[in-house]
């Protein structure tokens, strides 16, 4: 029966087409992002038949290395990826990798040297002639954020971003976060990019939007008649969005101590999840229609007490403890972290959306490092039904329904509802109904970048941030930065590594008679795990 259902679903739409001929140029090709995520994603696209046959990959970096060394390093990374994330242990597809490897080239260049861009342009012309890539190029900026604008400006100055309508030739740039460090810098970066590129050439990537469950959120809401009629303040009590990590800052202490949990996670990842959860139905699934509705949510997003944003948010920093049995040293003892640092590794906040659908209903967001469990989820808590019918029974409290979208690590959806406990009296028990992608669809191993890279090649920007979305995210949190600068010790509390956060985060919800979902147990965990 299960196979029949899946077969019927697959028959409803044509399979995706391979991307058009193109070259991918990765600036910063010697970094971890390229080895751990980008090239494994290209390998997976090849396995899925979505990478074009006429394809080239040019790695650009300032380090000296041969093409053979570069290819060997990538192969080792992809083999490791296949063994650790493949559907079967050691499931490395040598044929698929060979096709990718044959397309790999390397070019040494200084990002600040105009001569390097001239050589790159000449090489792209040669690649177009010899490999039939049609002149289409994706420039992936896997570099530190300080290089985003200089590389884009240099590409344009060298004539490498010119597109041709008649031939259909396109040039696109993918930019990793952070998109600025505050509202002013984000706006400046957008102005610099848009001075030489048009918005349709810029793909601001957020790897959270590559998760199947995040993409499924739109289908869940707008493709099922049982959910959308209830998706409003009349039926929902509140919504929680959690992005928790068990890791500490690892080797990113220098960056993280300047950023902190708020800058690192909230204006991008958490606000993207929130906007998809709260947006109005778009007219269609075109990129501009979807992104416009998301921006409308951000334009209406407020701290619950707009005049005192510092009272609507709490923060903390992990101290020594243990995460899943592994000892952790305090944040202030991490490499490249200032000994007296007040940088938050955890933040939680209460916000509202000032529109008709959500007015007055709270959204609670939290994110942190060195926490109990790695977990990203969106939890929709529905209002309690009236108890009047059960007043003469053993039921002393009604069970609120809960819909949980599990983003990672175990992608799926869970629904909690009440059921009668077997026996002669009326008692209610909490039960969960779970859907897991892994159990049902046998989803292929993924880095989370496959869909995003493929969409960029196809010219579909739906899952990428637009300039106004980036600026709106920073504009929302700007008042909180100001409040923390004025009173750096306000609502700041340490928490032991391995905890679910500081006590003041629990107090934030307790003031409203609510509580965070427990992180120790997760209803979406697969039976296979």
Q: Return d(Cα 215, Cα 407) in angstroms, integer.
A: 10
* Cβ neighbours, 10 Å, residue 95: 8
Residue 323 main-chain phi, psi, to 5 deg = -115, 115
- Alpha-carbon torsion (498, 504, 506, 508), positive or negative: negative
Q: Based on C-alpha coordinates, what's the Rg of the chain? A: 24
| Cβ–Cβ < 8 Å for 131, 56 | yes
Q: How many CA atoms lie within 13 A of 302 on its CB side?
A: 14
Mutual angle of helices 67-85 and 94-101, in 10-degree steps: 150
Is 269 among the residues known to form the active site?
yes
Q: Return d(Cα 364, Cα 343) in angstroms, integer.
A: 21
Q: How far apart are the first and last CA of the chain?
A: 23
Token pair listed for 331:
């944040």
* Burial class (CB within 10 angstroms; exposed 0-12, middle 13-18, buried 19+) of 125: exposed
From the candidates 62, 80, 238, 269, give the one annotated as an active-site residue.
Answer: 269
Strands (DSSP E) contained in 329-465 are: 346-353, 363-368, 375-382, 402-408, 412-420, 428-436
Which residues have a catalytic role annotated?
Answer: 269
């Amino acid at each position: 029966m299960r196979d029949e259902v899946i077969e019927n679903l697959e028959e409803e739409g044509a399979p995706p087409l391979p991307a058009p001929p193109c070259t991918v140029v990765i600036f910063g090709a010697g970094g971890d992002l390229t080895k751990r995520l980008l090239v494994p994603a290209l390998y997976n696209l090849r396995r899925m038949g979505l990478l074009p046959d006429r394809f080239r990959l040019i790695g650009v970096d300032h380090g000296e290395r041969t093409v053979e060394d570069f290819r060997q390093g990538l192969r080792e990374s992809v083999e490791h990826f296949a063994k650790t994330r493949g559907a079967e242990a050691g499931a490395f597809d040598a044929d698929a990798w060979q096709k990718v490897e044959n397309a790999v080239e390397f070019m040494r260049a200084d990002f600040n040297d105009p001569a390097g861009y001239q050589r790159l342009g000449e090489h792209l012309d040669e690649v177009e002639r010899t490999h039939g890539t049609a002149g289409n190029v994706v420039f992936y900026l896997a570099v530190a954020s300080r290089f985003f604008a200089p590389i884009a400006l240099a590409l344009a100055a060298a004539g490498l971003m010119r597109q041709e309508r008649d031939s259909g030739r396109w040039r696109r740039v993918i930019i990793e976060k952070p998109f600025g460090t505050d509202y002013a810098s984000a706006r400046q970066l957008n102005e610099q990019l848009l001075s030489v590129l048009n918005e349709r050439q810029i793909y601001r990537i957020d790897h959270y939007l590559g998760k199947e469950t995040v993409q499924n959120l739109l289908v869940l809401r707008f493709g099922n008649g049982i959910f959308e009629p209830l998706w409003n303040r009349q039926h929902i009590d509140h919504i929680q969005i959690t992005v928790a990590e068990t890791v500490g800052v690892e080797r990113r202490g220098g960056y993280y101590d300047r950023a902190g949990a708020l800058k690192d996670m909230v204006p991008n990842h958490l606000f993207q999840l929130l906007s998809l959860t709260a947006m109005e139905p778009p007219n269609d699934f075109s990129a501009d229609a979807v992104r416009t509705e998301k921006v409308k949510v951000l334009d209406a997003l407020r701290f619950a007490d707009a005049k005192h944003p510092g009272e609507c948010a709490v923060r903390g920093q992990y101290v020594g403890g243990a995460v899943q049995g592994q000892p952790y040293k305090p944040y202030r003892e991490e490499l490249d972290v200032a000994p007296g640092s007040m940088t938050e590794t955890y933040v939680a906040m209460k916000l509202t959306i000032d529109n008709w659908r959500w007015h007055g209903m709270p959204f609670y967001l939290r994110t942190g490092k060195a926490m109990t469990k790695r977990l990203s989820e969106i939890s929709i808590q529905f209002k309690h039904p009236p108890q009047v019918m059960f007043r003469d029974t053993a039921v002393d409290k009604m069970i609120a329904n809960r819909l949980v979208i599990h983003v990672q690590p175990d992608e799926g959806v869970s629904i909690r509802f009440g059921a009668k406990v077997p026996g002669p009296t009326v008692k209610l028990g909490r039960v969960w109904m779970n859907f897991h992608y892994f159990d049902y669809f046998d989803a292929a191993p993924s880095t989370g970048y496959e869909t995003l890279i493929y969409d960029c090649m196809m010219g579909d920007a739906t899952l990428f941030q637009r300039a106004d979305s980036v600026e709106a995210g920073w504009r929302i949190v700007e008042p909180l930065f100001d409040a923390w600068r004025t009173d750096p010790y306000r609502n700041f509390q340490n928490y032991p590594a391995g905890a679910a956060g500081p006590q003041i985060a629990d107090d934030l919800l307790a003031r409203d008679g609510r509580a965070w979902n427990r992180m120790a147990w997760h209803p979406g965990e697969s039976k296979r795990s």
